[in-house]
Amino acid sequence: MIGREVQPTSYPEGEVRPSHFRVAEVEVRSPGPGEVLVRNTWTSVDAALRIRLRPRSPEGYFSGFPLGQAMDGIMTVGRVVESRADGFAPGDVVWHAAGWRDYALVEAGKVALNGIGTLTRLDTSVAAPQAYLGALGGNGLTAYAGLFRIAALRDGDVVWVSAAAGAVGSLVVQFAKLRGHRVIASAGSDEKVAWLRDELGADAAFDYKRGPVAELLGEAAPDGIDVYFDNVGGDHLQAALGALRRNGRVAVCGAVSEYAAAEPQPGPTNLFLTVSKDLTIRGFRGSSNLDLLPEHQRVVGGWIREGKLVQRETVVEGLEHAPEALATLLAGGNTGKTLVHIAD
Ligand SMILES: NC(=O)c1ccc[n+]([C@@H]2O[C@H](COP(=O)([O-])OP(=O)(O)OC[C@H]3O[C@@H](n4cnc5c(N)ncnc54)[C@H](OP(=O)(O)O)[C@@H]3O)[C@@H](O)[C@H]2O)c1
């Protein structure tokens, strides 16, 4: 059988463009012992893929994507076509980490993406399969672990979330609101700011492009913040350190403002505030908190069943448009979870 897969052909310097990729036709063989053949239906598009479009990714992170090969380590859902592995049968809806291709041959039990991408059967009675790429999957786990474990959210904490209209950010806003917190949200357009305030219930929201972030944050949170969920880094992190109250916490989830930079970016110049205000800055990977996945899926699955969670999607039709979807996301053209719909 012939299938298609997206392969990077050159590493972008700065902006990602579809011309950095090609769609290749490849032979898909039948599964061997212990393997499962999956027809991928939805595949994820993530800001962090940008970090891997280089020969070597930062130490400790998922490896860079080799040129001219399928991109391994991207979350995807699909339907089992053929199985030679115990526990999987044709028709099962699964997630795995061999995304950005039509068909995937997956070895059952082989650990992928730190464990979050290991072949797993999904319960689609809770939500549609693609929700397992968003609220019920790695993005949801990242938001849940970042807020409740890493930032150790406490009653009464005021929370600021950056890149708040994106996949992870929009969940952080809602999880914190559902737990009764005052939430400040920032994003890059008037439409996103309105959505955050009117649909997601953020108490205040601002467009970070409208002025110095520290000033905009000061207006939105005149009494300061207790927790900063950092998706952006750079001037946003610097502004957060200024606004945090004593014993404040930063959960460093990502630094999307720095991903396309060719040179290392300067750090915050106000780090002494961590000393003077007893602050904690803690980076984390969602997948390093896999032990929280059952709790996260139970709690968030409950919010979905009760109709309390907005799950907005930016859907791009057709595998061949996955590179375009990534370029659009990095430029801020997405709202909510970005997905590529490969097949029904
Ligand atoms: N630690 C983990 O395990 C983990 C897991 C998943 C994701 N992440 C991180 O979470 C963050 C969000 O990722 P995602 O996949 O959910 O993507 P996303 O938020 O859906 O999309 C990325 C968003 O970043 C914003 N952005 C781009 N350049 C920016 C800049 N220079 N300054 C401020 N905002 C900028 C854009 O929105 P605007 O219109 O608002 O600019 C864009 O929509 C990333 O930092 C990612 O690396 C971490």
Mutation to probe ligand 1, out of 256, 258, 287, 340 (largest number of atoms < 8 A from CB)? 256
- How do 35-44 and 103-107 pair as beta strands? antiparallel
Using one digit for the tens of pLDDT, what is the confidence trace for 142-164? 999 999 999 999 999 999 999 99
pTM above 0.95, yes or no: yes
- Residue 290, ligand 1, Cβ within 6 A: no
Please give the backbone phi and psi of residue 34, each rounded to the nearest 5 degrees, phi first: 80, 0
The rounded mean pLDDT for the chain is 97
- Residue 257, ligand 1, Cβ within 6 A: yes
- Residue 146, ligand 1, Cβ within 6 A: no
Mean pLDDT, to the nearest integer, of 68-85?
A: 98
Residue 234 contacts residue 257 (beta carbons within 8 Å): yes
Measured distance CA(98)–CA(245) in Å, rounded: 43
Which protein residue's CA is at the shortest distance from atom 19 of ligand 1?
166
* 135: CB partners within 8 A, 6+ apart: 127, 171, 300, 304, 309, 311, 337
Using one digit for the tens of pLDDT, what is the confidence trace for 263-297? 888 899 999 999 999 999 999 999 999 999 999 99
Mean pLDDT, to the nearest integer, of 239-262?
A: 97
CA angle centred on 226, ends 223 and 229, rounded to 5°: 120
Measured distance CA(50)–CA(256) in Å, rounded: 9
The percent of residues above 90 in pLDDT, for the chain, comes to 98
Please give the backbone phi and psi of residue 221, each rounded to the nearest 5 degrees, phi first: -135, 70
Using one digit for the tens of pLDDT, what is the confidence trace for 152-203? 999 999 999 999 999 999 999 999 999 999 999 999 999 999 999 999 999 9
DSSP letters for 232-288: S-HHHHHHHHHHEEEEEEEEE---GGGTT-SSPPP--S-THHHHHTT-EEEE--GGG
Question: What's the token pair of residue 66?
Answer: 């080799």
- Residue 145, ligand 1, Cβ within 6 A: no
Measured distance CA(239)–CA(245) in Å, rounded: 12
330 Cα: distance to centroid of ligand 1 (angstroms): 7
Question: Smallest Cα–Cα separation from 256: which of 46, 38, 22, 39?
Answer: 46
Q: In ligand 1, which atom is closest to the CA atom of 285?
A: 3
- Residue 248, ligand 1, Cβ within 6 A: no
Q: In ligand 1, which atom is closest to the CA atom of 283?
A: 1
C-alpha torsion angle, residues 331, 334, 337, 340 (rounded to 10): -90
Using one digit for the tens of pLDDT, what is the confidence trace for 10-37? 999 999 999 999 999 999 999 999 999 9
- Residue 189, ligand 1, Cβ within 6 A: yes
Structure confidence at residue 262 as a pLDDT band (50, 70, 90)? confident
Is the confidence at residue 2, as pLDDT, over 90? Answer: yes
- Residue 196, ligand 1, Cβ within 6 A: no
Q: What is the pLDDT of residue 237?
A: 98
